[in-house]
A and B are shown apart, each in its own frame.
Chain A
């Protein structure tokens, strides 16, 4: 069956309230024929009820009652569509300043970030903030959508100027792959159909870029990391001595017969079998969920990690982290928090707040150490037990962690290990 060659691409969209982000997504869904009749009818009725001209495609992506009333998106919403080439998951996040946390959440799993710019306004504070968050979260690919070109007479000079401006500030960021596309989401220019109004633009449409951006190297296939998630022990006659370590490969490629090292003990063993419901497989790579069986009878448990002897993560209790804070209650210096990292559950104390980062200017503020909701800061923590970590830049799975308030159990911060 031909759908077996489809790849999955996750992207996030960021833009200010008025950049036309919802219209762009609506356009993408509508022109790629992912909208059903009843959804379209519902939106058409609402548009008419409100007395709007034409069909407001932005309504397709408005989810909850509160935001339909206010006309703004207030949380991450996930949308789906597919073409014969790829299946897409959109993490649609709001662009207002107070919702940095949602943007960070949406960005955490994305392969691609779409950043919307209103061609009339060029690069504004929010553009810088979105680009910075994309780089902080290490989204591998950026697509800069220069929207509302219809309102600047589809002029190439406008596009060129914004492109140069973006390049001038993004050199400070850690972004590798950037594409620029001039478009009009309202009229559909360069979204799914090539624009007849911008013949000067030779690049592909947005959908073409999404279908063709190379995502084959987005996972780490070098550093072998297997956090033990769950131990499978059937206790049946047939599988009497079966002890399988279930988990999802967080990095590298594991093969049967590989010599491996077990953390935290440092013991070594050999992979006897990589098991799945369909039977044994020869190798496992990120992001597969498999079950590893070892030659030797060590008693591993959840939170342990299987790695290669000659390529180990840092085993440490003292960790430097860039944190994005999510809670109304500011980050407490010397405060204690629960931490989840891979499949480990530990506690930590905040030893130092190094600086707060101004995400508009990238200025490091070492004086103001009050870290409030939506702030980004570099901090140092000490954990109750060693974690097995890699730099976030090297591996998004073993380089990320979350902070949990021990009183309320809420997730209060997202951390990227330096």
Chain B
């Protein structure tokens, strides 16, 4: 008799273990929900981990105010369906309160400002663990991230001072005022996520599937036409079939020309793709170490 799990089942078992570990080790965890496929996957896994009980922590959405409307519709429908508690942290409020100053110009994005709104929401809620859907295959700075990532009282990540993680033992001990970021799907790749969402028949926001949209080309990447982005005079809007590979806010999420109408089409597209999914993220392109620098400041 042979007992073996396929790679998706093994990843699922690992993530469920981590989610339960968070519920057991922390007093006040929160799940960071962006509306992207990774946080949808994480929410789905959390639902499984605590079945038949409800997810024992709330979902936190940091609203940049520059969302694709589809993201918000999806979020509200999902929260309703699984009976979760939703908390919204607002970047607009942080701007109005004068906590942050909005960027200006063609490349203005609220992505950096999210960090302040996030840290503020975590502090207000006194959350001691924030679950994130980051994966190690996404970006080189994330390749060294731990499952349990320790943050000091400023929410900062010190890459040189991370706790070693051995076997399946996760050390969530901390001083008062410190908190953890926890990444239950660390070991999943983009392809794993799609394969699993297909197998599990998880409902997804329409943005991920090919649709007709007004776009314009900037630095080799198609961006959605939106009142939140200032276009340069030479940037011409055209209509074409596109889809998102990641979902951030409108100002920094590129869209890809694609005909992929179903999740099976997406799997084929992803497994033959020649560019990484974050290749369309303007926020990563600012410098070679853009992600590492943002993470140190307390980004997701």
Contact = CB atoms under 8 A, between A and B. Distances in A.
Interface of A: 1, 3-8, 36-39, 42, 62-66, 74-80, 82, 86-87, 89, 101-102, 104-105, 108-109, 216, 219, 221, 229-230, 232-236, 238-239, 242, 244, 246-248, 253, 275-277, 285-289, 291, 302, 326, 338, 340-341, 343, 396-397, 400-402, 404, 409-411, 414
A379 B167 CA distance: 20
B17 A80 contact: no
A410 B148 CA distance: 12
B198 A409 contact: no
B276 A38 contact: yes
B123 interface: no
A109 B14 CA distance: 12
A157 B277 CA distance: 47
Given A78-B186, A285-B3, A411 B164 contact: yes
B198 A1 contact: yes
A365 to B, nearest CB: 24
Interface string B1-33: 011111111111110110011011000000000
Given A64-B159, A76-B144, A230-B24, A105 B165 contact: yes
Interface in B141-172: 141, 143-144, 159-160, 162-171
Contacts of A234: 52-54
A78 B14 contact: no
B11 A36 contact: no
Interface of B: 2-14, 16-17, 20-21, 23-24, 47-54, 136-137, 140-141, 143-144, 159-160, 162-171, 173-175, 186-187, 189, 191-192, 195, 198-199, 273-276, 279, 288-289, 292
B53 A8 contact: no
Given A4-B8, A343-B24, A409-B173, A36 B275 contact: yes
Given A234-B53, A277-B47, A79 B143 contact: yes
B275 A8 contact: no
Contact of A36 (B3, B6, B274): B274
Nearest to B189: A80
A248 B144 contact: no
A242 B289 contact: no
B166 A414 contact: yes
A102 to B, nearest CB: 7
Given A63-B141, A233-B53, A289-B49, A326 B164 contact: yes
Contacts of A410: 163
A77 B6 contact: no
Contacts of B16: 248, 289
Contacts of A400: 166-167, 169
Contact of A87 (B2, B7, B166): B7
B136 A42 contact: no
B264 to A, nearest CB: 8
Given A6-B7, A277-B48, A289-B16, A340 B171 contact: yes
Contacts of A4: 6, 8, 199
A246 B20 contact: yes
Contact of B189 (A42, A82, A236, A277): A82
Contacts of A105: 164-166
A33 to B, nearest CB: 9
